[in-house]
Structure 1
């Protein structure tokens, strides 16, 4: 690659971005550039509305970075002739949407340079063939006229990533795996060693080669292992792309164990709700229905079970996986970054892109970079007020996670392993908020050590406690860090607008007027969440000029909340109570901010325009959301 085009520096200063789009080519020092934007996220790379249009570069390229810094217009990047994009730390934060990579390619981007990359986005670049590097010296080499061998960049990658690149991508690599033409890229004969929960799961499910039994004695952080997958899932944002990739490589070849896969119609089911702005429906409804139709057709043709309206249980995929599918010791993957929700079940659950899912559907395996582990040991008393939402916002906003102090190399990954007596005062609903939101802290996932809430949940919902499957860490397992948390010292915490890692104690936020309250999503729509909000609201009323939207996370949650009178309470107070689904979190349902509104939401992500419209979004617990609905400002429920 020779630099025949331009370099787009994604700086913190919008003026720099605007100047480049206007035709200027700043000669920033690659060794000391201006402050680069932290966490350029996948919603910024390709917004939710554009995602409904399709999944090819031709369709998505014009929308790359639309509205970034309120400076980028449709087709600004492609028409500007940009060939290289430069970002800061945590490039690719957020969703697992592989279309973010496709949008780069469709906009003419041939190389991405950033301080660090988030795990799913980095995997998607490897599997889809978009070159990237953390070496800013490459910029100087390109400026000097060097013809850069992009393939050589893969030589800095670990062995599995190199093998995939040399094979031409993950799909052709999968064909070689199935044919027995390639074997494991890692050592099989290893000495046993103490391991963390996730290391033990990976070791037990490690591929040893064609027609060989799974399992090796030990793994360690940084190993790249092909693992047997226990459950694979996708939804309508991704299902069409997954099966299109599958068909391009393998045609009508059968899916490996279709009974261990499912598809979920959950992300678009609420777009046509009455309170969704007409402007949103006009942009998203028709193409969203087309994507859903594509997924339904390919799933019916391939024998994949379908969840959604008029089919199997309706609700957010992550909640249904916890209710019906996840078991301790499983490896669980879905084409959604919030798949770590199921880590609450003592499972290794994580999000993947569309290419990785297509690979998993055909081979039954998923690539895993063995993560480093931070053990979080929880003690103290939440006193019925502090919630897991407060705890996880407090954790991921800590500089150790926000600044990725655990990272030593570009391909490192990290997880949180939760243990301690403090967990026993919460149930699985509540603890799943922590594992879900680990991804918001730049982590691969979270996993809960065997504990009373898991056993009680399994006994109540499955009729057994799966004691033989529970995976406990070994004595002597190695951790990057052990963090001891005393809940008595954790404040009620919010995430201020822009990023879930923008933590602040509620007491330090000041008086913030709130107009839009959203109690919903895989981190805010469980029965425990609805109960917590209802407890605050009983005997009270909403403040004037406050809108409230409530969306149960599954049909089971909705039915239980109906029986307890919770949904009736919300409705009587004037809230919009919707059917189960994943909607307002991504601007696809009721609760989308109106012009001039500030939102308090129990969802997990508050990137700019993430909820489908401009306007600041604060992430809060259900109790704080309910108290804020009563007062019309961010409020500690204990003050009511």
Structure 2
């Protein structure tokens, strides 16, 4: 039992109304009467990027809880407010996989999270780290009436067998260690399962599932949506944003024992590498640089101690954003891939199951080779038709998809623990490159999906042969196809002829608008950046838009290639010089301004057109408005100084 009552503590309602928020924080009388709660409280809002550079413990992060949206909540406000419960709206905990968001709740004194719906990664992180939560809004009235609520009963009702065992077995690391030691039973078996048609995700997870009664301890004849499993990972990655936290958890659980040798593990020094760039404002450097460098050293030290290869400064492998590097060098069809980053689904373009996890789950994987997963429902995204003007890009397509109420409102979700994967298929895939298709999988998480996966298609096969040196027979033997009679939650059809050039308006990636609805909007800052929008194909699109034109003088433009290979290839094609001659700031590879850690940071009074994936308030370093756009639209905006409908744009051939 875990009896819980308010006592002298309070409930904090995170409402849309700033005055209501301030009334609560300043101790004035406040009664919740149904005021709109904030939609999509992101982990960037829960604990902002600047605070993440400071460390990963409760005393450090607690004062920064919810200091991430506008200028309403200030440092220490919630922590000093005597709150033990926070109440949020739909899609609470959206965005990144940073488990420090859970730590920040605890540091601020929060013992219970109540929200209308919770995003997958954040919900799992709370489960693994044993923070209580519920979407049962009637609990609020019970607490206000002075009743005592048994929090353990709340968790019993909403957790499935495996995660129930995890939560009540001391958390993920403790339970996982018991499983490996033979001291705890998994609540699922290989025996008694028949064979049935499966989707791509169901097939991969069934093959990789840890099952103590299966030959070799691995493999199920099928897996089905809603099942929670431990699966064997093929690739695990950590970066410096989370590396210190992972190291702390790993050493607490496993001491200094070597990492599991059955899985490929890489470190990535990519998130902070551009903070010291000359183009970054001095106040940002002073707040972030020293602490960010300290976190980077923790990752470097961990990788050296365990002889783990690492990409980027201090490592022995080429620099770049982790997700682009995983696509370039590591992901293969049928793999299970996980990194401490929510945009791990990028690698799903390679016909594999790639998803983001928090620090605890990755620490378990490093020590045991196994990681937890909820088998998702599958929505098949069938892309067909033709864009006769050749203007619609995968960025437009994915913004169009995730902005649809079906995904924005999670209409596929019937139970609180339901998850979903977008499985991309259809004849229109053939017109795009792997670079372009990876934009689709990358941004599935913005539509509340666990991940995305691309069905076998010519671009993927060609990439593995031409870029990885595989034989065609080897590639075809790896490819994972869905069964003809597989069961889908739905089939969502996209006809390219019906997809407009699309943008996401400020505040959320799901705020879709056709560009015609926002045309003529002033732009001050153009950034070509991130795991989403700085591949070689993206840079080609920007180059096509700006060739033969001049940058508007007042426009600040930044180009940050997503990997060293992208930079080198772009240089060989003459694009780096073109961007520099155009007046853009061109940087070395890294994450950069997407998370407020490099050139192109969005300041309070600027409007930004970005090729990145998120535009939560404050994510890019300031509170200026950020529009998410395709690379071509970004290039045009650098010339015109405004969001511009690209139809009729004069493309000057080389």
Q: TM-score, normalised by structure 2?
A: 0.96
Q: Are 1:118 and 2:127 matched, yes or no? A: no
Q: Are 1:351 and 2:339 matched, yes or no? A: no
The equivalent residue for 1:155 is: 156
Contact 2:386 2:496 (C-alpha < 8 Å) held by counterparts: yes
The equivalent residue for 2:276 is: 272
- Within the candidate set 472, 491, 495, 2:500 is matched to 491
**Whole-Å Cα distance in 2 between the matches of residues 258 and 58 of structure 1?**
36
Contact 1:428 1:453 (C-alpha < 8 Å) held by counterparts: yes
Aligned pairs for 1:429-448 (under 5 A) are 429-448=435-454
**Whole-Å Cα distance in 2 between the matches of residues 572 and 511 of structure 1?**
26
**Whole-Å Cα distance in 2 between the matches of residues 209 and 423 of structure 1?**
39
Q: Are 1:329 and 2:342 matched, yes or no? A: no
Larger displacement relative to structure 2 (129-138 or 301-310) = 301-310
Please list the CA deviations of residues 546-578 of structure 1 after superposition, one character each: whole Å capped at 9, or x if unmatched: 011000000000000000000100000110000
**Alpha-carbon shift at residue 26 of structure 1 (Å):** 2.6
Larger displacement relative to structure 2 (88-97 or 7-16) = 7-16
Please list the CA deviations of residues 27-62 of structure 1 after superposition, one character each: whole Å capped at 9, or x if unmatched: 325xxx221111000000000000000000010000
SS at match of 1:522: helix
**Whole-Å Cα distance in 2 between the matches of residues 243 and 304 of structure 1?**
13
**Whole-Å Cα distance in 2 between the matches of residues 242 and 25 of structure 1?**
42
SS at match of 1:608: coil
The equivalent residue for 1:226 is: 230
Contact 1:119 1:413 (C-alpha < 8 Å) held by counterparts: yes
**Alpha-carbon shift at residue 161 of structure 1 (Å):** 1.1
Contact 1:378 1:422 (C-alpha < 8 Å) held by counterparts: yes
Q: Are 1:203 and 2:206 matched, yes or no? A: yes
- Within the candidate set 477, 484, 493, 1:468 is matched to 477
- Within the candidate set 594, 598, 601, 1:592 is matched to 601
Larger displacement relative to structure 2 (630-639 or 562-571) = 630-639
Larger displacement relative to structure 2 (548-557 or 296-305) = 296-305
**Whole-Å Cα distance in 1 between the matches of residues 174 and 387 of structure 2?**
51
**Alpha-carbon shift at residue 442 of structure 1 (Å):** 0.9
Aligned length: 637
**Whole-Å Cα distance in 1 between the matches of residues 92 and 355 of structure 2?**
18
The equivalent residue for 2:90 is: 89
The equivalent residue for 1:372 is: 377
- Within the candidate set 515, 527, 531, 1:522 is matched to 531
Please list the CA deviations of residues 188-236 of structure 1 after superposition, one character each: whole Å capped at 9, or x if unmatched: 2211111000000000111112883311111111000111111000100
**Whole-Å Cα distance in 1 between the matches of residues 436 and 337 of structure 2?**
20
The equivalent residue for 1:418 is: 424
**Whole-Å Cα distance in 2 between the matches of residues 460 and 512 of structure 1?**
42
SS at match of 2:614: coil
Contact 2:206 2:223 (C-alpha < 8 Å) held by counterparts: yes
Aligned pairs for 1:222-261 (under 5 A) are 222-257=226-261, 260-261=264-265
Contact 2:129 2:171 (C-alpha < 8 Å) held by counterparts: yes
Q: Are 1:302 and 2:311 matched, yes or no? A: no
For structure 1, the residue ranges without an aligned partner over 5 or more in a row are none
Please list the CA deviations of residues 408-427 of structure 1 after superposition, one character each: whole Å capped at 9, or x if unmatched: 11111011000011010000
The equivalent residue for 1:340 is: 345
Contact 1:39 1:89 (C-alpha < 8 Å) held by counterparts: yes
The equivalent residue for 2:12 is: 8
For structure 2, the residue ranges without an aligned partner over 5 or more in a row are 650-654
The equivalent residue for 2:621 is: 612
Contact 2:27 2:81 (C-alpha < 8 Å) held by counterparts: yes
The equivalent residue for 2:639 is: 630
**Whole-Å Cα distance in 2 between the matches of residues 267 and 617 of structure 1?**
20
**Alpha-carbon shift at residue 309 of structure 1 (Å):** 2.5
**Whole-Å Cα distance in 2 between the matches of residues 477 and 259 of structure 1?**
30
**Whole-Å Cα distance in 2 between the matches of residues 24 and 41 of structure 1?**
26
**Whole-Å Cα distance in 2 between the matches of residues 20 and 291 of structure 1?**
35
**Whole-Å Cα distance in 2 between the matches of residues 470 and 559 of structure 1?**
30
**Whole-Å Cα distance in 1 between the matches of residues 576 and 411 of structure 2?**
43
The equivalent residue for 2:186 is: 184
**Whole-Å Cα distance in 2 between the matches of residues 25 and 44 of structure 1?**
25
**Whole-Å Cα distance in 2 between the matches of residues 139 and 636 of structure 1?**
48
**Alpha-carbon shift at residue 70 of structure 1 (Å):** 2.4
Contact 1:7 1:25 (C-alpha < 8 Å) held by counterparts: no
**Alpha-carbon shift at residue 149 of structure 1 (Å):** 2.0
**Whole-Å Cα distance in 2 between the matches of residues 451 and 137 of structure 1?**
48
RMSD: 1.2
The equivalent residue for 2:652 is: none
- Within the candidate set 454, 462, 471, 1:456 is matched to 462
**Whole-Å Cα distance in 2 between the matches of residues 254 and 526 of structure 1?**
35
**Alpha-carbon shift at residue 258 of structure 1 (Å):** 7.0
**Whole-Å Cα distance in 2 between the matches of residues 267 and 417 of structure 1?**
29
Please list the CA deviations of residues 604-624 of structure 1 after superposition, one character each: whole Å capped at 9, or x if unmatched: 000001000110000000000
Contact 1:6 1:25 (C-alpha < 8 Å) held by counterparts: no
Larger displacement relative to structure 2 (189-198 or 137-146) = 137-146
Contact 1:259 1:304 (C-alpha < 8 Å) held by counterparts: no
**Whole-Å Cα distance in 2 between the matches of residues 219 and 494 of structure 1?**
37
Contact 1:536 1:637 (C-alpha < 8 Å) held by counterparts: no
Q: TM-score, normalised by structure 1?
A: 0.98
The equivalent residue for 1:193 is: 196
Contact 1:258 1:303 (C-alpha < 8 Å) held by counterparts: no
